[in-house]
Chains A and B, each alone.
Chain A
């Protein structure tokens, strides 16, 4: 754990750029939330090293299950970064997975439309922000979003991992969950199944110390949530989720374990609560002032930047240019999405059933017609 091999320069540059993209995205949507132009924004500020670091360990065809604050993992899974930012990445930095990925600007646009409830979003307006799924085998992207019932996606992630075993696909499932949802029954059921069935599942607890406003001591009575791993017969560890090297090292270990048929891992990533539950919902102000100040000093981006520099992966001018580019790309995607059309009204009435006998029968029903 302490003898982690150094991360490659190309991984460091990509991680840093993804973290900047995620942060720029949050800043843009936070300001819209403050201005009241969007309903709700759940900021991922502070989570970037955990989300980006774990997702960068995935391979094409691995599955990703996200909740509120996992934009970094989504961007890391979706985006052909050298193609998105040719000004600061060399073509040689494109990976084999990048070559399968779709044009990155299009995905950013669809993501922005999704968050804003526009026609070109992944759900074309029928579900909100990160509640969508994107399953595209050709792209190697298998992403399942959340439902509002926190914890409920963990059994689904276990099922994705079960299918990996059943189909001998060798794929791993990375599932995020907040520490608040670890109190749910589904957390227990999914981890227990993962242990018994030795599923290739990595569960990452993003422990930002508050479930909405409920502090840790009112959530659970154990020292560390990773200690629950022993009870499920899976591997577990608690780590500093703002330390990219620690995150990548732990995730690589978990993936090796999963791909080797040795089962699941529970990673508890300790994170600073740098924002409220949702922007402007009053929950941030409930955190004691000295705690808030301490959390702000735990921002993962400055140490990441230092790591990039000291490792020689990039120098100040590159960082400057890349940072500006990240902001520009986000700005362009959001502006384009804001100008994009509203959903078509007929989407509201689209079928609840996939094509087949049941759909045909349900279409035959006279009652379906509006009266």
Chain B
């Protein structure tokens, strides 16, 4: 066993998969000798060389398009975006090229897009966003967002092995803060498309992913002291959504709170509550509620950003309100 941070887990996943399959390669900015802006690829260049750990110029669209081309020629590229925010520069390659090639040509597109995303560190409007809804809205992409080191490892490995383009959202606030004992020398795979019960409970269900998942667990622990039992579900994969897990949890408690760090309007939470309304209306004992970032950009000053982030206090307040129904 070794104490593994979320970031270590990502590195281990790439290392293991590159050892296992010579077609796996990594593309990105500053990822070779430097190891990437967050050092997620540290050591890979020395081990696998310049043909498999490829520094690109500053060209998101170019690199994302090149990943598609390389995949069509038998490679399995992992593209590291320096920040998730910058993927907008390559949006067309993602939503039109990567996402639609399989439908159009029936050619598998095994490409993973690693997106360091999320706020909490006072990084301002262009280094803090949670863009999952942009991609969840585009059929053909798989969208995943692990919250723990174990899932960061297991889901990145599963994403690399999947024959489809995967938007892999890694919460950078968790990079060095989340640490977990993981067994060495063992293959830890987390299948895509399966949610996880992060904390069992009976009265209210909280659905979340990424950083807010941990805030939900903290809020649930606070409520437990008052005798309110909150089940927290870590969706882990947004597309394809584990509807079975979501609906059965909602049917059991009848009360659901959706929590995400992305902004509210047309956020993925809206999709969740719509599907729950479609399938579980008669099982509901309370309103479908959301706790999200407000419809604002992310301000720079930490005090300003903290005032907008959907943290444990707001989550606990909403959970209490729901529990009273």
Contact = CB atoms under 8 A, between A and B. Distances in A.
Interface of A: 63, 122-123, 126-127, 131-133, 135, 142, 144, 147, 149, 152-167, 169, 185-186, 189-190, 192-193, 196-197, 350-362, 364-367
A202 to B, nearest CB: 14
B54 A126 contact: no
B67 interface: yes
A351 B103 CA distance: 6
Interface stretch (B190-198, B249-257, B295-303, B317-325): B190-198
A358 B66 contact: no
14 contacts: A132-B105, A142-B73, A156-B97, A159-B66, A160-B70, A160-B73, A166-B52, A190-B65, A190-B66, A352-B139, A353-B140, A356-B163, A357-B162, A358-B166
B72 A160 contact: yes
Contact of B191 (A161, A357, A365): A357
B265 interface: no
Given A193-B62, A361-B240, A361-B242, A155 B70 contact: no
B64 interface: yes
A156 B59 contact: no
Contacts of A351: 102-103
Contacts of B247: 366
Given A162-B54, A193-B56, A197-B54, A352 B103 contact: yes
Contact of A152 (B74, B92, B102): B92
Q: Which of A164, A196, A359 has the most CB of B within 10 A?
A: A359
B101 A133 contact: yes
Q: Which 7 A-B pairs have the closest CB atoms?
A: A159-B69, A361-B193, A155-B65, A189-B62, A159-B66, A163-B73, A362-B240
Contacts, number: 182
B286 interface: no
Most buried by B among A63, A153, A162: A162
A164 to B, nearest CB: 7
Contacts of A133: 72, 101, 104-105, 107
Nearest to A175: B69
Contacts of A163: 69-70, 72-75
B316 interface: no
Interface of B: 25, 51-52, 54, 56-57, 59, 61-75, 77, 92-93, 96-97, 99-109, 139-140, 142, 158, 161-164, 166, 191-194, 237, 239-244, 247, 275, 278-279
Contact of B140 (A152, A352, A367): A352
Interface of A is mostly: helix
A154 B63 CA distance: 11
B62 A186 contact: yes
Given A152-B96, A158-B62, 20 more contacts: A133-B105, A135-B105, A158-B66, A167-B73, A186-B62, A186-B65, A193-B63, A197-B54, A352-B100, A353-B102, A353-B142, A354-B109, A355-B163, A356-B162, A357-B158, A358-B162, A361-B191, A361-B193, A361-B237, A364-B244
Contacts of B107: 133, 135
B77 to A, nearest CB: 8
Contacts of A161: 69
A361 B65 contact: no
A186 B92 CA distance: 10
Contacts of A197: 54
B287 to A, nearest CB: 21
Contacts of A186: 61-62, 65, 92
A53 to B, nearest CB: 24
A164 B62 CA distance: 17
